[in-house]
Amino acid sequence: MEIIVAKRAGFCFGVKRATQMAFEAAKEKRNTFTLGPIIHSPQVVQKLEEMGVKVRKDLAGLSDATIIIRSHGVAAEELEEAVRKELDIIDATCPFVKKAQEHVKSLSQSGYDVVVVGDADHPEVQGIVSYATGKVYVVGSDEEASRLPKMGKIGVVAQTTQSFENLQNVVMKCLARGGEIRVFNTICDATAIRQEEAKELARQVDCMVVIGGYNSANTKRLTEVCTELQPKSFQIETAQELNPAWFDKVERVGVTAGASTPKWLIDEVVERIQQINRNK
């Protein structure tokens, strides 16, 4: 059985950077916390916990501590609170997310009503929105955008993981809602590239294994994309979940992983598939 691992499987640039920063901080052995889980990988979060870095929901009651901001970023008020409390701040916000936050701030300050294309419940979007000083709307689709009120100047930014098509469709609707539109394409193509690669792989193999946290939206989407092309697609978090029956009569298996899946988890899965193959 041949095992093909997607070239871009696993950590994207921003997640890799945030994880490295968190492990570096863990070595310092100070009173260190992350604000929310650092990435959507329970295994990485657990490793950090074992090294003394705990997850906190908020900053209540915290003093003389180091706080790590995750790659999604946080709300402006939360960052201000951390500064007020004189905490040591390690800001691991992905630079692409930071860009989106900065655009929202400057658009607002220049008198634009801001439209953020994305999922209103996602922490990245909640963080981006908090940088607006004037009116701000979150829309998930062009259908939602068609219900926006009439505005004067509209500034549009996108959640980094949005599809280009969705941004384009929302912008088209905004053209009918305002007199002037300013658009910043803040989409990060790491997600799209990973999905394209997974699609290509799913077409070539008899079984696809997608590794990533069940709480990770991009891993879930990756599994959906693969399942459309290869019904024998399975999402797992760790090698222990692999079922040998999945590989019956399989000649080629494809492996990919979400943006928050560390390399050591991918390696463990590949090793376990090799072992299953040897026992066939």
Q: Of residues 162, 191, 230, 256, which one binds ligand F3S by CB under 6 A?
A: 191
* 44 makes contact with ligand F3S (CB under 6 A): no
Nearest distance from C-beta of residue 71 to ligand F3S, angstroms: 4
Is 35 within 8 Å of 93 (Cβ atoms)?
no
* 178 makes contact with ligand F3S (CB under 6 A): no
* 97 makes contact with ligand F3S (CB under 6 A): yes
Amino acid in the structure at residue 258: G
Is 171 within 8 Å of 156 (Cβ atoms)?
yes
Q: Which is nearer to ligand F3S, 93 or 235 (CB)?
A: 93
Stretch that binds ligand F3S, among 92-100, 133-141, 203-211, 221-229 (CB under 6 A): 92-100
Nearest to 139 by CA among 160, 164, 161, 156: 156
Nearest distance from C-beta of residue 131 to ligand F3S, angstroms: 16
Three-state helix/strand/coil letters over 31-93: CEEEECCCCCCHHHHHHHHHCCCEEECCCCCCCCCEEEECCCCCCHHHHHHHHHCCCEEEECC
* 160 makes contact with ligand F3S (CB under 6 A): yes
* 259 makes contact with ligand F3S (CB under 6 A): yes
Q: Which is nearer to ligand F3S, 15 or 253 (CB)?
A: 15
The answer to the question of whether 122 is labelled as a binding residue is yes
81 in active site = no
* 10 makes contact with ligand F3S (CB under 6 A): no
Residue 235, helix vs strand vs coil: strand
Q: How many other C-beta atoms lie within 10 A of the C-beta of residue 162?
A: 23
User: Which DSSP symbol is given to 147?
Assistant: T
Question: Could you give phi then psi for residue 254, rounded to 5 degrees?
Answer: -105, 145
* 188 makes contact with ligand F3S (CB under 6 A): yes
Residues that bind ligand F3S (CB under 6 A): 12-15, 71, 94, 96-97, 160, 188, 190-191, 259
Residues at the annotated binding site? 12, 40, 72, 94, 122, 160, 188, 216, 218, 260
| Catalytic sites, residue numbers | 124
